[in-house]
Amino acid sequence: MTTPDPVSTTSAITRANCEQRDANDPLRDFRDDFLLPEGTIYLDGNSLGPRTKGAAERAQDVIADEWGTGLIGSWNSASWWDLPAKLGEKIAGIVGGGAGSTVVTDTTSINLFKAASAALKMQAEDSPDRRVILTQRENFPSDIYMLEGLAEQLGDGYKVRLVDDEEVTAGFPTTMSDEVALVVLTHVNYRTGRLFDIGTTTSAIHAGGAMVIWDLCHSAGALPIDLTGSGADMAIGCTYKFLNGGPGSPAFIWVAEALQNRFSQPLSGWWSHAQPFEMAPDYRPADGIRRYLTGTQGILSMSVAELGLDIHSRVDMNLVREKSLALSDLFIDLVDERLADHPVEVVTPREHAHRGSQVSIRHPEGFAVMSALIERGIIGDYREPEVLRFGLTPLYIGFTEVWDTVEALRDILDNHLWDTDAHKVRGAVT
Amino acid sequence: MTTPDPVSTTSAITRANCEQRDANDPLRDFRDDFLLPEGTIYLDGNSLGPRTKGAAERAQDVIADEWGTGLIGSWNSASWWDLPAKLGEKIAGIVGGGAGSTVVTDTTSINLFKAASAALKMQAEDSPDRRVILTQRENFPSDIYMLEGLAEQLGDGYKVRLVDDEEVTAGFPTTMSDEVALVVLTHVNYRTGRLFDIGTTTSAIHAGGAMVIWDLCHSAGALPIDLTGSGADMAIGCTYKFLNGGPGSPAFIWVAEALQNRFSQPLSGWWSHAQPFEMAPDYRPADGIRRYLTGTQGILSMSVAELGLDIHSRVDMNLVREKSLALSDLFIDLVDERLADHPVEVVTPREHAHRGSQVSIRHPEGFAVMSALIERGIIGDYREPEVLRFGLTPLYIGFTEVWDTVEALRDILDNHLWDTDAHKVRGAVT
């Protein structure tokens, strides 16, 4: 083992400087809305947001009062029946969806199936020869699998075609053709943190005659989004990452106003019926957002998820974005400065316009290095191949924590403090 | 208002007699596993099972320890990732499904879509001309709507045909034809409480060349079921009624062993992938039960649901059935004896072989009468048209409560103590 050169002591950035920035942070007080274990630096809020203050009390109320005492009557008296729309309204406020456009229900994958089915049905009426679904090769794989499942079920020439991220950023100069019915895009690449521009990309897709569904799993709650203004057709996303809904909390689906009453989906359970308690054998879809629903939702998970949405409803998303970029600039600068002697590559785009709310770096021993960091209570995660992922969540992560993280990385790399035999276990769930 | 005749005082049944039966009830101690409000007689456990003892503590553990402290690591360390299979194993024990056959995930409606899609795909390979799905006209409407949604999406002549309950009980003498690919049946009619025989009905359907999916929403946890022995193909059901999983707790899906590796479903999210953390863009289904999964589940709702399954794993389902029939016999006898002067009709079949775990009665003022009962703390529910529904759940309902319920009904009917202007609000969720 060679001893690395000592790090320059003339670095422009110091820990004291980071502490100063934290002291001046206008979002500082939001940290009290989260309960994080003492001594942990949690950089995995892009995978599972931490516990919200009040979650335990909310669960107690639901179990003791609503379920325990209210019993079946709580569907009305505690408004369980209205939770999907109530939480949807809060999501809409966070992602610029407009009133009456969004519901919280089911999982992201299920909601993608509904949205893609509805979009393809509209295209089958308007442009029946369009039967290709484009999506990023690097989209979160579940989205690709769901689209493949849908295309296979539809048969009749429907198929999924994969495009590279660069093609999307360039506005589809070569892949968009008159075969393309639908484009499904992740707003932020889960692995690299690359951000795509919803407005210009949507315009390029519409100019090519296709519809677009945006997956906001890695951007909702992380940066300002103006869904309505972007002209997008539909969007889906989860509530358990940047929105702190709790493990596996239900997902959301948004549909542009002009499409809402053309929206028709095959998962047409009774929650989407115009008159669910008529118990009529024939299906009639509800007007508006209830038609995106299917069946009965887990009330406990849904109720606790509301707390995370309430926090994000109180915050100015422009401030969140500003601090997020400051944190990731700092992270990247420190990697450049202090890990320069190591085979570390910053995977996340350096341009602000192309960067989400995370920094991913690549190292040949990525898995073992991340394991060593986690041993020290600094929790990021690992994604194949060789990528260490650090989520930067401005409401509870500060500049000093970024400093301490890169310093810990430096110590581990300088002194080769990782176990090369570290056993790869099943990865953490994104 | 006329004064009704006084009730006969020579009745064979007395409250004291009911109290004696409760004292001798071998299931008596199970009542301590549930937390019911003082003074309430809860006869709606067929719609939403009441709070389980320990639910609040379990939710605290999940929120404080698993989510709060364990954070992202709890997907492995708290085995969140394994909950669908772990809870599925417990369901399998309760419904005779055999090991490795069942998962708990999503909603009943979503699971029906998966099962029906998979069954139709198998039939398309084996008997491509079969394109009709039969289901009961009186099946819970969401099942019908989901099948209609699937048939519409498949197109190509797929359609849903409705049959009467009598036709099912008679073994499909006129409706089964060589067009029928799949029959989807509720095991117990949610409204009338009529029970169908899984074994003989499955045989009749298989003899006709079709496959069968059973909906066990109103029977799982209520009576002994031997899915494997019945020869059934697939089954679905919920955990929040007789299984006390909590409001909207996740549903289950069971597939017969011989069909498991032919099972292919369009909702093919990453939880069903053979190697979900490879993040490969191409879909390969897992072997076995994981291929019934789609996306990330609400861990809080799922974790609390386990408590209800644990209670039912400890109980002898034959004793449950024996007491259930004794309770419903008592209910029906008392209606016959003590409500004879009123226009009340017992809708639930009187034959044990055709009776689930509820008693439904019809009265022209059904809604107003049920409202009056609920005012007294006796909670059943109402279903169109005119039906008062009383769920009989042997683990926490006794003979004396049945007596008190019918006496309250008698008082209300004898003295016309209902509000004819009672406003019909949205019904309770089944």
Whether residue B427 has pLDDT greater than 70: no
To the question of whether residue B169 is assigned a binding role by annotation, the answer is no
In terms of domains, do B291 and B361 share one?
Answer: no
Contact B71 A429 (CB under 8 A): no
Name the band, by pLDDT with cuts 50, 70 and 90, for residue A407: very high
In terms of domains, do B350 and B220 share one?
Answer: no
Average pLDDT, chain B: 95
To the question of whether residue A84 is assigned a binding role by annotation, the answer is no
Nearest CA in chain A to B44: A72
Contact A152 B280 (CB under 8 A): no
Domain that holds residue B339: 15-33+317-414
Domain boundary among A296, A314, A332: A314
* B67 in a structural domain: yes
Task: Quote the pLDDT of residue A421.
Answer: 76
* A4 in a structural domain: no
Mean pLDDT of A188-208: 98
Q: Is B267 on the interface with A (CB under 8 A)?
A: yes
How does DSSP classify residue B137? T
Contact B64 A56 (CB under 8 A): yes
Task: Quote the pLDDT of residue B419.
Answer: 87
In terms of domains, do A334 and A266 share one?
Answer: no
Domain boundary among A314, A336, A369: A314
Q: Give the number of C-alpha atoms closer than 13 A to the C-alpha of residue A108, restricted to the C-beta side.
A: 28
pLDDT tens digits along A266-292: 999 999 999 998 889 999 999 999 999
To the question of whether residue B224 is assigned a binding role by annotation, the answer is no
* B164 in a structural domain: yes
To the question of whether residue B108 is assigned a binding role by annotation, the answer is yes
Nearest to B142 among A69, A148, A269 (CB): A269
Which residues of chain A make contact with B40, given a CB cutoff of 8 A? Answer: 71
In terms of domains, do B198 and B224 share one?
Answer: yes
Q: Are A212 and A183 in contact (CB under 8 A)?
A: yes
User: What pairing do the DSSP bridges indicate for beta strands A345-346 and A358-362?
Assistant: antiparallel
Nearest to A71 among B379, B384, B426 (CB): B379
Contacts of B62 (CB under 8 A, 6+ apart): A247, B78, B299, B300, B303, B304
Interface of A with B in 322-381 (CB under 8 A): 374, 379, 381
Which residues of chain A make contact with B74, given a CB cutoff of 8 A? Answer: 247
- Helix ranges, B217-316 (H): 227-230, 299-314
In terms of domains, do A279 and A388 share one?
Answer: no
Task: Quote the pLDDT of residue A5.
Answer: 46
Q: Could you tell me the CATH number of the domain that includes residue B63?
A: 3.40.640.10
Which residues of chain A make contact with B218, given a CB cutoff of 8 A? Answer: none
Whether residue B3 has pLDDT greater than 50: no
pLDDT tens digits along A5-44: 444 445 589 999 999 999 999 999 999 999 999 999 999 9
Domain boundary among A314, A341, A362: A314
- Residue contacts between A and B (CB atoms, under 8 Å): 300
Instruction: Report the C-alpha gap between A302 and A305 in whole angstroms.
Output: 5
To the question of whether residue B102 is assigned a binding role by annotation, the answer is no
Mean pLDDT of B397-411: 98
Distance from CA of B298 to the nearest CA of A (A): 4
Distance from CA of A291 to the nearest CA of B (A): 12
Task: Quote the pLDDT of residue A423.
Answer: 63
Contact B301 A301 (CB under 8 A): yes
Whether residue B10 has pLDDT greater than 60: no
Contact A142 B295 (CB under 8 A): yes
Q: Could you tell me the CATH number of the domain that includes residue A396?
A: 3.90.1150.10
The burial of B290, by beta-carbon neighbours within 10 Å (0-12 exposed, 13-18 middle, 19 or more buried), is given as: middle
Integer angstrom CA distances of residue A58 from A306, B28, B57, B61: 10, 32, 13, 14
Instruction: Report the C-alpha gap between B219 and B392 in whole angstroms.
Output: 12
Task: Quote the pLDDT of residue A378.
Answer: 98
Task: Quote the pLDDT of residue B12.
Answer: 83
Whether residue B122 has pLDDT greater than 80: yes
Task: Quote the pLDDT of residue B251.
Answer: 98
Contact B301 A299 (CB under 8 A): yes
* B8 in a structural domain: no
pLDDT tens digits along B165-208: 999 999 999 999 999 999 999 999 999 999 999 999 999 999 99
Interface of A with B in 12-71 (CB under 8 A): 35, 37, 40, 42, 44, 47-48, 50-51, 55-56, 59-60, 62-64, 66-69, 71
Which residues of chain B make contact with A145, given a CB cutoff of 8 A? Answer: 268-270, 272-273, 283
Integer angstrom CA distances of residue A413 from A416, B54, B159: 5, 47, 63
Please name every residue paired with A388 in a beta bridge, in sequence order, or none if there are none.
A361, A382
Which residue in the block uniquely carries the two structure tokens 């799949």?
B182
Integer angstrom CA distances of residue B92 from A121, B255, B258: 38, 10, 16
**pLDDT cut 90: percent of chain B above it:** 93
Nearest CA in chain A to B37: A69
- Ranking A82-96, A114-128, A280-294, B2-16 by mean pLDDT, the lowest is B2-16
Nearest to A266 among B149, B271, B301 (CB): B149
Nearest CA in chain A to B239: A298
In terms of domains, do A89 and A29 share one?
Answer: no
* B305 in a structural domain: yes
Instruction: Report the C-alpha gap between B122 and B146 in whole angstroms.
Output: 19
* B6 in a structural domain: no
Contact B74 A247 (CB under 8 A): yes
Which residues of chain A make contact with B371, given a CB cutoff of 8 A? Answer: none
Interface of B with A in 400-429 (CB under 8 A): 425-429
Which residues of chain B make contact with A299, given a CB cutoff of 8 A? Answer: 246-248, 301
In terms of domains, do B370 and B240 share one?
Answer: no
Q: In 3-state terms, what secondary structure has residue A87?
A: helix
Contact A56 B60 (CB under 8 A): yes
Contact A141 B270 (CB under 8 A): yes
Contact A283 B149 (CB under 8 A): yes
In terms of domains, do B258 and B300 share one?
Answer: yes
Interface of A with B in 177-236 (CB under 8 A): 191
In terms of domains, do B254 and B298 share one?
Answer: yes
Contact B426 A277 (CB under 8 A): yes
Instruction: Report the C-alpha gap between B283 and B264 in whole angstroms.
Output: 12
Nearest CA in chain A to B80: A247
Task: Quote the pLDDT of residue A169.
Answer: 96
* B171 in a structural domain: yes
Nearest to B248 among A47, A140, A299 (CB): A299
* CA nearest neighbour of A297 among A256, A239, A254: A239
Mean pLDDT of A307-329: 98
In terms of domains, do A282 and A357 share one?
Answer: no
pLDDT tens digits along B367-390: 999 999 999 999 999 998 899 999
Name the band, by pLDDT with cuts 50, 70 and 90, for residue B425: low
Distance from CA of B26 to the nearest CA of A (A): 25
In terms of domains, do B208 and B354 share one?
Answer: no
Whether residue A240 has pLDDT greater than 90: yes
* B430 in a structural domain: no
* CA nearest neighbour of A295 among A151, A69, A142, A107: A107
- How many domains, in total, are found in chain A? 2
ipTM of the complex: 0.95
Nearest to B76 among A272, A279, A426 (CB): A426
Active site residues of B: 140, 215, 240-241, 389
In terms of domains, do A309 and A320 share one?
Answer: no
